[in-house]
């Protein structure tokens, strides 16, 4: 007879304990096997299993911010596309300081850093960079008013130079210090480029260093600031991964992702989307805009707020449209008979029941309702923010012409649902060769392109002004970079 059975007969209590012990051992063995398997699982597998990609970034116009249409920014958009490419969700961790990012990554708090980091020699020892997605230069920034433009390092010796701590700028200055031992500067942790630019304007410091891509966006808010000279050779921006050479899987997928989006034009389109409209905006336009925002906007602000709320818009968008239309002049009249602060045509005024186009409140209310109507007519497939840009283009050139341009876009292999593509073909409406074949004929097709571009920048500036004012009112000692980051339509 088997021993087991004999024991069963002899002691039922002991048998129960044995079975329990057996399960306990089996359970423990299973846990150990799972732990070993998990430890062996590579970085990509872990993410797929978790269903989530965790990315460190920073708040700012070139990286990540809250826009009209939710979260956006070049780094955010790239990371989101990469998460989609892997088939997982994206979780963002915002780091306040550059100095915290690499320790956070190496402390296993995230999968990589996507924060507009420059590939530098010092960093290469600590992290592994993907192929670059953008090339920039570091630029020395100074305040133009009454100052001679510095042209070389020797011209800034003795001036107050301050840069963000742990930045590529600090690293560059250390290199320069070897050739220019008299060069001195301060670094500030917990500070960002935006704050340092403000300090130049307020006279607290003389110079700072900013990446060219960031200055391209920031210069619209500070028309007095200018580039003195490039202080570095071209540098690459890239994502940073842990230097774990034994496990290449996640890194390799990121490298493949960048190769793919470079190849299929997605990267160029994203760069254009985030920088294109700001590139052509002239500093003089900002100067005038800021002056007008102080002198002319206040009496109408509550009307914009009211009309925007009723029609589901951001009031700053409505105000930006109005500025582009009339420079906030209520009795503006164009040679074609378009009138008022929102420049409504007689026909539209009739349709919208406007009695007096020169009455600011009536004009703003009609403009908002008209925009809403156009927004509703844009085909459903067109997603935000492109939908808003097309609405603005239709407001300017007419819905029919916009449709014609979308057809041309499609016939030329472009995407008629993407503003980036449509705006390339809109100017063709002024050429006979093209408008001959369209339903609505000739239009000054380049106008809506400039129109939308300007409104986007006016909007960015209004958001920036508005948020800054809110901060001053709440007397927060240190502005949260998230809320002062300009927003994109």
Q: Give the binding-site size for ligand GLU (rule: CB under 6 A).
A: 11
Give the residue from 91, 112, 93, 64 showing the smallest Cα distance to 214.
64
Q: Which is nearer to ligand GLU, 93 or 288 (CB)?
A: 93
Could you tell me if 304 and 364 are in contact, meaning their C-beta atoms sit under 8 angstroms apart?
Answer: yes
Chosen residue from 53, 101, 113, 164 binding ligand GLU by CB under 6 A: 164
* Residue 336 CB, nearest approach to ligand GLU (Å): 45
Q: Which of residues 70-99 bind ligand GLU (CB under 6 A)?
A: 98
Candidates 115-123, 276-284, 300-308, 440-448; binding stretch for ligand GLU (CB under 6 A): 115-123
Separation of alpha carbons 193 and 30, rounded Å: 52
Candidates 114-122, 382-390, 410-418, 443-451; binding stretch for ligand GLU (CB under 6 A): 114-122
Q: Which is nearer to ligand GLU, 214 or 386 (CB)?
A: 214
Could you tell me if 247 and 43 are in contact, meaning their C-beta atoms sit under 8 angstroms apart?
Answer: yes
Q: Which is nearer to ligand GLU, 211 or 417 (CB)?
A: 211
Separation of alpha carbons 291 and 314, rounded Å: 22
Site string for ligand GLU, 213-252 (x = CB under 6 A): -x--------------------------------------
Candidates 7-15, 160-168, 351-359, 435-443; binding stretch for ligand GLU (CB under 6 A): 160-168
Q: Which is nearer to ligand GLU, 220 or 357 (CB)?
A: 220
* Residue 268 CB, nearest approach to ligand GLU (Å): 21
Give the residue from 317, 328, 318 showing the smallest Cα distance to 289.
328
Q: Does residue number 168 form part of the binding site for ligand GLU (CB under 6 A)? A: yes
Chosen residue from 61, 67, 116, 385 binding ligand GLU by CB under 6 A: 116
Assigned token pair, 350: 């009739």
Assigned token pair, 376: 């509703």
Chosen residue from 75, 206, 211, 403 binding ligand GLU by CB under 6 A: 211
Q: Which is nearer to ligand GLU, 120 or 322 (CB)?
A: 120
Separation of alpha carbons 93 and 158, rounded Å: 39
Residue with tokens 């953008």: 134
Q: Does residue number 61 form part of the binding site for ligand GLU (CB under 6 A)? A: no
Q: Which is nearer to ligand GLU, 97 or 345 (CB)?
A: 97
Q: Tell me phi and psi for residue 121, to 5 degrees.
A: -60, -45
Q: Which is nearer to ligand GLU, 192 or 403 (CB)?
A: 192
DSSP state of 95: -
Other CB atoms closer than 10 Å to residue 418's CB: what's the count? 19
Chosen residue from 167, 322, 457, 483 binding ligand GLU by CB under 6 A: 167
Assigned token pair, 413: 């292999």
Candidates 86-94, 163-171, 439-447, 467-475; binding stretch for ligand GLU (CB under 6 A): 163-171
Catalytic machinery residues: 325
Other CB atoms closer than 10 Å to residue 104's CB: what's the count? 14
Q: Tell me phi and psi for residue 470, to 5 degrees.
A: -60, -40
Chosen residue from 74, 193, 231, 343 binding ligand GLU by CB under 6 A: 193
| Alpha-carbon distances, residue 207 vs 200, 201, 210, 390 (angstroms) | 6, 10, 10, 40
Separation of alpha carbons 180 and 216, rounded Å: 28
* Residue 380 CB, nearest approach to ligand GLU (Å): 38
Q: Does residue number 117 form part of the binding site for ligand GLU (CB under 6 A)? A: yes
DSSP string over 330-372:
TT-B-TTS-BTTTTB-HHHHHHTT-S-TTSHHHHHHHHHHHHH
Q: Apex CA 269: angle with CA 267 and CA 270, to 5°?
A: 65
Contact residues for ligand GLU, defined by CB under 6 A: 98, 116-118, 164, 167-168, 192-193, 211, 214
């Amino acid at each position: 007879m088997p021993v087991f059975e004999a024991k069963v007969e002899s002691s039922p209590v002991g048998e129960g304990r044995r079975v329990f012990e057996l399960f306990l051992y089996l359970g423990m063995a299973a846990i150990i096997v799972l732990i070993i398997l998990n430890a062996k699982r590579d970085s990509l597998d872990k993410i797929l299993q978790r269903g989530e990609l965790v990315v460190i970034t920073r708040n700012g116009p070139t990286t990540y911010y809250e826009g009209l249409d939710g979260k956006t920014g070049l780094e955010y958009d790239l990371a989101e596309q990469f998460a989609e490419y892997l088939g997982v969700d994206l979780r963002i961790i915002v780091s306040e300081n550059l100095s915290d990012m690499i320790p956070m990554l190496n402390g296993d708090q995230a999968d990589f850093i996507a924060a507009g980091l420059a590939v530098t020699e010092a960093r290469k020892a600590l992290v592994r960079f993907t192929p670059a997605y953008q090339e920039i230069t570091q630029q020395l920034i100074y305040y133009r008013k009454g100052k001679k433009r510095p042209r070389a390092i020797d011209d800034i010796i003795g001036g107050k130079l301050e840069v963000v701590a742990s930045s590529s700028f600090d690293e560059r200055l250390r290199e320069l210090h070897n050739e220019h031992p008299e060069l001195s500067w301060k670094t500030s942790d917990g500070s960002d480029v935006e704050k340092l630019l403000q300090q130049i304007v307020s006279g607290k410091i003389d110079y700072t260093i900013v990446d060219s891509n960031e200055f391209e966006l920031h210069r619209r808010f500070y028309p007095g600031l200018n580039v003195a000279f490039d202080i570095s050779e071209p540098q690459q921006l890239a994502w940073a991964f842990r230097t774990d050479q034994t496990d290449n899987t996640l890194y390799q997928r990121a490298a493949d992702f960048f190769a793919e989006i470079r190849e299929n034009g997605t990267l160029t389109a994203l760069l254009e989307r985030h920088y294109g409209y700001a590139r052509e905006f002239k500093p003089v336009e900002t100067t005038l805009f800021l002056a007008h925002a102080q002198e002319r906007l206040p009496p109408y602000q509550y009307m914009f707020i009211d009309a925007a709320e009723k029609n589901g818009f951001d009031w700053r968008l409505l105000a930006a449209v109005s500025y582009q239309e009339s420079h906030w002049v209520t009795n503006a009249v164009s040679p074609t008979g378009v009138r008022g602060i929102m420049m409504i045509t007689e026909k539209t005024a009739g349709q919208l029941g406007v009695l007096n186009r020169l009455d600011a409140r009536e004009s703003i209310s009609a403009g908002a309702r008209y925009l809403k109507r156009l927004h509703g007519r844009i085909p459903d497939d067109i997603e935000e923010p492109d939908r808003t840009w097309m609405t603005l283009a239709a407001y300017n050139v007419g819905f029919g012409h916009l449709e014609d341009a979308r057809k041309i876009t499609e016939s030329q292999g472009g995407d008629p649902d993407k503003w980036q593509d449509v705006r390339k073909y809109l100017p063709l409406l002024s050429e006979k060769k093209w408008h001959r074949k369209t339903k609505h004929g000739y239009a000054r097709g380049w106008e809506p392109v400039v129109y939308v571009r300007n409104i986007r920048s006016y909007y960015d500036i209004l958001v920036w002004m508005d948020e800054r004012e809110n901060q001053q009112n709440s007397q927060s000692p240190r502005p949260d970079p998230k809320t002062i980051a300009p927003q994109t339509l």
